[in-house]
Amino acid sequence: MRSPHRHLTRRGLLTGTLGSAALLATAGTLAGCGTKGAQQTEAGCKSEDLSATEKKLAFSNWPQYMDADEKDESKRPTLDEFIKKSGIQVTYTEDVNDNNEFFGKVQNQLAGCQTTGRDIMVLTDWMAARMIRLGWIQKLDKAKLPNVEANLLPSLRNRSFDSDNQLAIPWQSGLAGLAYNAKVAKEIRTVDELLTRPDLKGKVTALSEMRDTMGLLLQSNGHDPANFTTAQFDDALNKLKKAVDSKQIRKFTGNDYAPDLAKGDIAACIGWSGDVIQLGFEDEKIKFVVPDSGVMLWSDNMLVPNKATHKANAEELINYYYDPAVAAKLAAYVNYICPVKGAQAEMEKIDPELAANPLIFPDEAMLSKSKVFMALDEKREKEYEAKFQQVIGA
């Protein structure tokens, strides 16, 4: 089994080097505001596919998000097998360190209908939604993705930013919910408990990632984070503000809450399932809880950008990773939620303990309580982020 620290390279960086404040800046500079050439259309920005004559593919991903050989990390077993079987040479680059930072790398090319030199890039839901909104992503051919059609989890189908499952295919997923340290806190079941219980006062943290914290609060108020109004958002934000003003919440964090939770310096928090898996390797007293009102589901998605010249090769790779046996090998290494039906049975052959872990293979009851945050247009993205940042003091 791999080191239990790889999770920190990705979800924490969502709110790390650039974070939510930078989101406001980048959202305003190019993603909207009528910048000439920013918005593209399928008809106006045509891409040529050279896959038939060029058996190659450029794949940009996050660090340590691909299975590697434990003795030689330059070897990537599932990717190496794909290259061997398909004859497609893959240039694999770990150059996605932060969603906003990566947006900055590619925005000028994509805004100008120019190549980025990449055929697949892996980005988180909200950034995928932004790029789709800007018309920067190519539609995939479903006929070339039979494994995706057959095996994509129902909870990850028909998302608001990709209603026909043709633009963003989940690479791996995770949950935002509640966590607590049973050494210093009694069981917690609801968001309201976290925000009001006297024994937790000053010992609580929440996430500085707006979509996860606010999604959970919207659910706790009985609203759907996949489809809500501004008034409902404001009601949930007022609930959060009360918890801040009463000093129930100590601070807002990326996943730097994890060491404090492990030590018992904080008793409970809003946190990510991947962190709890990692902490649970060391201490079974660290518990992840799906709140009674529901949990937030996020994904990092495979996207084929405009002007990528090897779309059919990319589709072949995407389809390959939706083979349950391949997906299980990947999940055994990265320990995120596997988005592929049938992979759990394959995982039992590799590691029965991981196959039984509900944070890698959630059961239907857990998934039925999960929601993906609503895709926002540029105006509401800026408005909601500004309100949220004001409350959390960023």
pLDDT tens, residue by residue, 259-291: 999 999 999 999 988 788 778 778 889 999 999
**Does the residue 29 lie in any domain?**
no
330 domain residue, yes or no: yes
Q: 385 and 261 share a domain?
A: yes
Helix intervals (H) in the chain: 19-26, 77-86, 99-111, 125-133, 146-151, 191-196, 210-220, 230-245, 257-263, 273-282, 311-320, 324-334, 343-350, 352-355, 364-368, 378-392
Residue 36: the pLDDT is 45
Structural domain contains residue 20? no
Neighbour count for residue 19 (Cβ, 10 Å): 18
Task: Mark whether 62 and 162 lie in a shared domain.
Answer: yes
pLDDT digits (tens, 9 = 90+) for 30-84: 444 444 448 999 889 999 999 999 999 999 998 889 999 888 878 999 999 999 9
Helix (H, G, I), strand (E, B) or coil at 19: helix
Does a structural domain hold residue 60?
A: yes
Report whether pLDDT(177) > 80: yes
Q: Are residues 155 and 178 in the same domain?
A: no
The verdict on 279 and 317 lying in the same domain is: no
Query: Is 60 exceeded by the pLDDT of residue 147?
Result: yes
pLDDT of residue 322 exceeding 60, the answer is yes
Q: Is 291 a domain residue? A: yes
Could you tell me which of 207, 177, 26 has the C-alpha nearest to residue 99? 26
pLDDT tens digit string along 184-207?
Answer: 999 999 999 999 999 999 999 999
Residues 386, 321 share a domain: no
String of b and e for 114-134 (b: at least 16 CB within 10 Å)?
ebbebbbbbbbbbbbbbbbbb
Q: How confident is the model over 205-215, as a mean pLDDT?
A: 93
Same-domain status, 123 and 142? yes
Residue 33 within a domain: no
The share of the chain scoring above pLDDT 70, in percent, equals: 90
Residues 6+ apart with CB under 8 A from 69: 75, 76, 77
pLDDT at residue number 256: 82
Whether 90 maps to a domain, the answer reads: yes
Same domain (yes/no): 164, 242? no
Of the pLDDT bands very low, low, confident and very high (cuts 50, 70, 90), residue 2 is: very low
In terms of domains, do 95 and 134 share one?
yes
The verdict on 137 and 169 lying in the same domain is yes
Q: Is residue 106 part of a domain?
A: yes
> 383 and 349, same structural domain?
no
Same domain, 165 and 183: no
Nearest CA-CA partner of 318 in 101, 205, 167, 110: 167
User: How many independent structural domains does the chain possess?
Assistant: 2
Residues across the chain? 394
Same domain for 166 and 184?
A: no
Range of the domain at 326: 56-173+298-360
| Domain harbouring 81, CATH code | 3.40.190.10
Average pLDDT (100-104) is 89
Sign of CA dihedral 335, 337, 342, 345: positive
Structure confidence at residue 377 (pLDDT): 87
